[in-house]
Structure formats: C-alpha cells, structure tokens
C-alpha cells in the first residue's frame, strides 16, 4: 500500500513571495520556522495575514497532517487541534486521511517519521542547495497498515514516549536551574 491510497494530498496556500503580516488579519500561516524541535506547531508564533486568490483556502483541521517538503527535516506533523483559521505555506503539503481509509491520522504521521520512511525521503529528495520532496514521491511512500488495534497501541506508545521525553526535559531544566543557583550562591560570596 502507498500513502496516496489512504490520504488526500492537498496543496499549500499559494502565497506570492513572503507572507505579509497584517496585524488584524483574519488568517494565520504555518511556516517552517513555526515547527518546534519536537514536531509541534508553535501556534503562538504564527503570522497573521489576509489571504488573497479566488480559490477557497485549504483551512487546517484537527487530525490533518502537515508534511514539510522543503529543507533538511522532512517530517510529518499531526494537528491535534487548530485554535484559529490557518493555512500552510508552500514549504508544506497538507495530508488528510480519506474517509473510510481504515487508518488513524496519528499512525500515518508516526510511520512517516520512522526510519524506513525517512530513508525513502532521503533517497528521493531533489536539489543540492535546498532539498525538496516532490508530491509524486510523497504519494508513492510505501505504508504498512496493521489492524486498528495495533495502530491505537502504537499511537499510545508514541504519546507515552513523547510525554516521558517532555518530563525528562523539565527535570533537566530544573536541575540546571538548581545548579546555577548553587553556583551563584557559592561563587558570589566575598572572602571573609
């Protein structure tokens, strides 16, 4: 089975040049810089803008998958929620699981971020200065679709791993803060 068998691949909004910031704009645009290291969208940093064009925008929806087609990180980002009207910039393609496909969007995103898919993207990327993945290459990505019970189990396991990693990051940050406080106390003492 291939990716295009289970998802509809939709284009980004066709911005002309850089995305113009409009303070009271009615839409926001997800750009490459808005994807955090852990693969989440930094919703607070999205640029407000006004959309032009005759075509109805592909508004982002919960359970959509954003795929970064340009740059060195070709990752899939699952949207759990979408807090306001937003579209994607041309650095992305929008993947929407087809009705009745029998696959969880979270499982598709997880599989796209695993080593076999990442190797496929690495081998299929084009461009020497800025790598990119063509839509046809993305559509042909081989997928394994296990039973829904297995998909749910994998998604739960991946969520638990992300939560554990976040907990460890917080513990490390707390320890570093504690060490800075100790260093400040000890090293700033005046000799008696």
Q: What tens digit of pLDDT does each residue of 97-149 get? A: 999 999 999 999 999 999 999 999 999 989 878 889 999 999 999 999 999 99
Q: Which residues pair with 48 in a beta bridge?
A: 28
Q: What is the dihedral of CA 172, 175, 181, 184, to 10 degrees?
A: -70
Question: Does pLDDT of 174 surpass 90?
Answer: yes
Q: Give the separation between CA 8 and CA 116, rounded to whole angstroms.
A: 21
Q: Give the separation between CA 116 and CA 141, rounded to whole angstroms.
A: 10
152 shares a domain with 64: no
47 shares a domain with 133: yes
Residue 42 near residue 120, CB atoms below 8 Å:
no
CATH number at residue 139: 3.90.220.20
For residue 190, what pLDDT is reported?
Answer: 57
32 shares a domain with 11: yes
128 shares a domain with 46: yes
163 shares a domain with 139: no
Specify the range with the lowest mean pLDDT, choosing from 16-20, 45-49, 79-83.
Answer: 16-20
71 shares a domain with 17: yes
Residue 143 near residue 65, CB atoms below 8 Å:
no
Question: Does pLDDT of 48 surpass 70?
Answer: yes
% the chain with pLDDT above 90: 71
Question: Does pLDDT of 191 surpass 60?
Answer: no
165 shares a domain with 74: no
153-165: average pLDDT:
94
127 shares a domain with 160: no
User: Nearest to residue 30, comparing CAs of 63, 67, 3?
Assistant: 67
67-81: average pLDDT:
92
How many domains is the chain partitioned into structurally? 2
88-93: average pLDDT:
93
Q: Give the separation between CA 97 and CA 175, rounded to whole angstroms.
A: 42
33 shares a domain with 128: yes
164 shares a domain with 74: no
For the whole model, what pTM was predicted?
0.86
65 shares a domain with 15: yes
Question: Does pLDDT of 91 surpass 80?
Answer: yes
73-87: average pLDDT:
93
For residue 189, what pLDDT is reported?
Answer: 76
For residue 88, what pLDDT is reported?
Answer: 95
Q: Residue 157 belongs to what H/E stretch? A: helix 148-187
69 shares a domain with 129: yes
List the domain range (segments joined by +) for residue 12: 3-144
Residue 82 near residue 62, CB atoms below 8 Å:
yes
């Amino acid at each position: 089975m291939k990716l295009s068998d289970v998802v509809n691949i939709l284009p980004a909004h066709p911005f002309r040049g850089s995305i113009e910031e409009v303070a009271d704009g009615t839409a926001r645009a997800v750009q490459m810089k808005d994807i955090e290291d852990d693969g989440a969208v930094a919703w607070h940093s999205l640029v407000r803008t006004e959309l032009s064009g005759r075509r109805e925008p592909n508004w982002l929806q919960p359970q959509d998958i954003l795929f970064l087609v340009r740059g060195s990180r070709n990752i899939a980002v699952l949207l759990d929620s979408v807090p306001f009207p937003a579209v994607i910039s041309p650095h992305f393609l929008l993947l929407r699981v087809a009705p009745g496909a029998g696959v969880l969007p979270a499982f598709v995103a997880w599989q796209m971020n695993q080593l076999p898919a990442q190797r496929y993207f690495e081998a299929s990327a084009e461009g020497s200065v800025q790598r990119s993945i063509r839509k046809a290459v993305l559509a042909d990505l081989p997928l394994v679709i296990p039973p829904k019970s297995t998909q749910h189990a994998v998604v739960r396991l991946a969520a638990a791993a992300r939560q554990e990693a976040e907990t460890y990051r917080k513990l490390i940050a707390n320890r570093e803060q504690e060490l800075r406080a100790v260093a400040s106390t000890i090293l700033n003492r005046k000799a008696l």
